[in-house]
Chains A and B, each alone.
Chain A
Amino acid sequence: MLNTFSNFFLLLIFIPGLLQAQLIPIEEGELSEMTGQAFMNIDRSAANGLDFTKLTLGLDVKTSLNSDLLELGNYTRDGTPGSDIKINDFALGSIDSDGKIVPFEIKDPFIELAFEDNAGKQDLVGVRLGFGGAKGVLSGSIQSLTGNINIDIRDTADGLSNADNGLADLTAALLGNSPIEANAVLVNSDGTPNNIRATEIGIKNGETFDIVPTSGGDKFVLWAAAGLGIGGLNCVDNGFFSCGKAEITAGGCEAAGIDVCFDLNTYNSLDVGKKQNDGSFDFSEGLFLGFQTKQITWVDGSTSTKATAGAFLNVPNGGLEVTLEQALLGTKRVRTRYADPYFGGH
């Protein structure tokens, strides 16, 4: 039988253009322009009895995306079925009224693994996807949330008029311009803090609405109002005919007759980021989505965050800020699609 010879060339072997390259002597100075550090870092650290391995990517991400459902940790927990995190119609980014996409921006994302030494064995006890910085609009119909969410309520007392409550209206009328501050966290409907599968967010029991007037006139009015016991105001920074700071204490999801706990799904769009004085947002750090097998503490620089077992979303202080109107009435969902079912399909 005749054999034929076939020409066979080796793939994957490339001889570069060195055989045809121009040769120009390269100066040492030019050689030194090569940078070595690329966009990936791997770190190992230890804290609180845990070892961490972290991969950080030097990336700037801008995105606009929509999803029908984001659900993590769907299992029976403490005898009750449900999901740790469940958000319907989840979206990042928005479309403004000129039809321009305003993307959600993420800086330097990282993946971190947490290990616990267990008789010489390294047990993987946690993994998280974190963002060195995040800013933009996060939208969704939040059914259930597990994690550490701090919403800063920052407004003037004027905003209390949204509370649909006589005393609140009076306080708003009297102290309209005074800055008001409050912090809301995930709660049960009785005001006790609950960061596992919470469906409400509000001012927890014992936490306060703080009214912090700036002008002398407002301080006097506050002193008088607190003295008369209007609106449950309690002055904690007393001066001579002047009150620098008064508090209304929340209990059982109420503060001076105002409802202070709200269903999560009334907040259809949230601005993530550090709010600046001019109303714009800067990147906020510490945002992460984690999955833990037991309660562990994640460390970001000088900040420690305790995360419960299961799926966990951490939005750090300063990461979310709303006005009283938004807190009391919820936020409308922004446009996230050019043909958006929330806007009639167009």
Chain B
Amino acid sequence: MKLVSLKTNAVMSIILFSQLSYSDLEMLTDKHLGNVDGAGIGIVLEDFIFNGGEAVNGGGTFEISGLQSSDNKPVVLGISQFYIAGSGSDQGTNIDNNPVNIGRLTNPFNLELRDGNDLDVGVTDKAVFEFSAPTILNGSRLSERPDMGIRFDLEIDGVSHQSLENHIESLSIDGSYIRLWGGNGRMEGELALNVYTPNIEFFACDSTGLNCGETVSFQNVSIELELGQGEYQPVTFEVDSTGNFIFEVGTLEGKCASTNGTGGCDSGTAGYTELNDYYTTGPASNTYIGNVSVGGQSFGSTTISNLQIQYLEVKSHDL
């Protein structure tokens, strides 16, 4: 039997996405939930390199425009280079033949529909979409921690001003995740973002990318951000009817059935146990920067410890 290959022109089917896309997730009934048994899709990038920008690959245009200065002059950020590559990228100069794995076969990025009744999820009787990074246990090793950086040029009203550079070494986002579900007629979510890196550098150069100034570096950076807790304190992102967005972390107000004379919640009152659990083991953010150094001079460490957000509302408006 001979095999013959045949080239053919074929029109592939493309997924048509409706413009009107509501992101409510349909509630799964118990019957369906019974079939959701924690299976997901693992995602790993092997030998990965990403490199693009106006100063690489033969040049071109890579820019973010449409921004303005406070006196309405047009602002353009030209991206000279944006890269993701392996260790030793040397601020973007050593990219070729320097790939990186992102995620581990035994601990991959994971896309899954979780059972909302799981203890760590906390959304009653709903399926929760979850995209998560590798877990911290057995987390990313050096060959799975990319170097990442961006160089961009600032141009205001047609005049190039300066070039800003930011380089991150051996980045790990292990333990991060985003969970989304439909609740109260809108999309709700919970976020965790962890950033671990031994070194982040910032410096500025002149508009041609040369004559770079002293480097400001943040060493031993560990940022752990947790926003929201299931349906108890959901995170929402909406656009209002005037075209401005509203980002909210749910309020704890009203969680206590009745507050005492100074506004607090007494033990024994309905809602106290959940509030107390929230304060002791609920979502908390921590930031630690081991050393901030400029041109070799050290300015010490920075710590923000156990930050808990009881309420947050961020609304944008036109400037």
Query: Residues of A with Cβ closer than 8 Å to B?
Result: 1-3, 7-10, 13-17, 19-21, 35-44, 51, 53, 56-75, 83-84, 93, 95-101, 103, 108, 113, 115, 118, 120-125, 127, 291, 293, 309-311, 335, 337-340, 343, 345-346
A61 to B156, CA, bound (A): 28
Q: Kindly list chain A residues whose C-beta atoms are within 8 Å of the C-beta of B302.
A: 71-74, 311
Binary interface encoding of chain B residues 201-238 relative to chain A, with 1 for a CB under 8 A from any of its CBs, else 0 = 01111100001111010000000000000000000000
A67 in contact with B214 (CB, 8 Å): no
Q: A124-B203, A338-B275, A340-B264 are in contact. Are A65 and B307 (CB under 8 A)?
A: yes
B300 in contact with A39 (CB, 8 Å): no
Most buried by B among A1, A16, A39, A83: A39
Q: A59-B316, A97-B262 are in contact. Are A68 and B306 (CB under 8 A)?
A: yes
A346 in contact with B272 (CB, 8 Å): yes
A67 touches which of B3, B162, B304 (Cβ 8 Å): B304
A225 to B156, CA, bound (A): 63
A65 touches which of B19, B275, B301, B309 (Cβ 8 Å): B309
A10 in contact with B12 (CB, 8 Å): yes
A346 touches which of B202, B264, B294, B304 (Cβ 8 Å): B264
A41 in contact with B69 (CB, 8 Å): yes
Binds A, one of B97-105, B131-139, B190-198, B253-261: B253-261
A306 to B295, CA, bound (A): 22
Q: Kindly list chain B residues whose C-beta atoms are within 8 Å of the C-beta of A16.
A: 17, 19
Q: Kindly list chain A residues whose C-beta atoms are within 8 Å of the C-beta of B267.
A: 345-346
A15 in contact with B211 (CB, 8 Å): no
Interface size class of B (residues with CB under 8 A): 35 or more
B318 touches which of A58, A83, A84, A127 (Cβ 8 Å): A58
Q: Is B29 an interface residue (CB 8 A)?
A: no
Q: A44-B156, A93-B310 are in contact. Are A98 and B259 (CB under 8 A)?
A: yes
Q: A17-B18, A100-B253 are in contact. Are A124 and B204 (CB under 8 A)?
A: yes
Instruction: List 8 tightest A-B contacts by C-beta distance, closest first.
Output: A75-B300, A99-B259, A123-B213, A58-B319, A39-B316, A17-B19, A69-B305, A67-B307
B306 in contact with A67 (CB, 8 Å): yes
A312 to B69, CA, bound (A): 27
B315 in contact with A60 (CB, 8 Å): yes
A69 to B212, CA, bound (A): 36
B253 to chain A, nearest CB (A): 5
Q: Is B66 an interface residue (CB 8 A)?
A: yes
Q: Kindly list chain A residues whose C-beta atoms are within 8 Å of the C-beta of B306.
A: 66-69
A176 to B163, CA, bound (A): 61
Q: Is B141 an interface residue (CB 8 A)?
A: no
Most buried by B among A8, A35, A51, A71: A71
B311 in contact with A93 (CB, 8 Å): yes
Q: Kindly list chain B residues whose C-beta atoms are within 8 Å of the C-beta of A343.
A: 262, 264
Task: Give the A-B pair count, Cβ closer than 8 A.
Answer: 252
A101 touches which of B14, B299, B311 (Cβ 8 Å): B311
Query: Residues of B with Cβ closer than 8 Å to A?
Result: 3, 12-20, 66-70, 72, 75, 77, 154, 156, 161-162, 164, 202-206, 211-214, 216, 243-244, 251-253, 255-256, 259-267, 272, 275-276, 279, 292, 294-295, 297-319
A1 to B265, CA, bound (A): 72
Q: Kindly list chain B residues whose C-beta atoms are within 8 Å of the C-beta of A65.
A: 307-310, 312
Q: Kindly list chain B residues whose C-beta atoms are within 8 Å of the C-beta of A1.
A: 3
A64 in contact with B264 (CB, 8 Å): no
Q: A74-B302, A98-B259 are in contact. Are A63 and B313 (CB under 8 A)?
A: yes
A92 to B266, CA, bound (A): 22
Q: Kindly list chain B residues whose C-beta atoms are within 8 Å of the C-beta of A120.
A: 206, 211
A293 in contact with B299 (CB, 8 Å): yes
B313 in contact with A61 (CB, 8 Å): yes
List 5 additional contacts besides A58-B317, A69-B305, A335-B263; criterion CB under 8 Å: A15-B16, A42-B75, A43-B156, A51-B162, A343-B264
A13 touches which of B14, B253, B275, B279 (Cβ 8 Å): B14
The residue on B at minimum CB distance from A38 is: B318
The residue on B at minimum CB distance from A309 is: B299
B121 to chain A, nearest CB (A): 24
The residue on A at minimum CB distance from B242 is: A35
B266 in contact with A346 (CB, 8 Å): yes
The residue on A at minimum CB distance from B308 is: A66
A99 touches which of B162, B253, B305, B311 (Cβ 8 Å): B253
A101 to B262, CA, bound (A): 12
Q: Kindly list chain B residues whose C-beta atoms are within 8 Å of the C-beta of A3.
A: 3
A57 to B20, CA, bound (A): 29
A339 to B272, CA, bound (A): 8
- Interchain residue pairs with CB less than 8 A apart (9): A44-B69, A67-B305, A67-B307, A73-B292, A101-B251, A120-B206, A121-B214, A337-B279, A339-B276
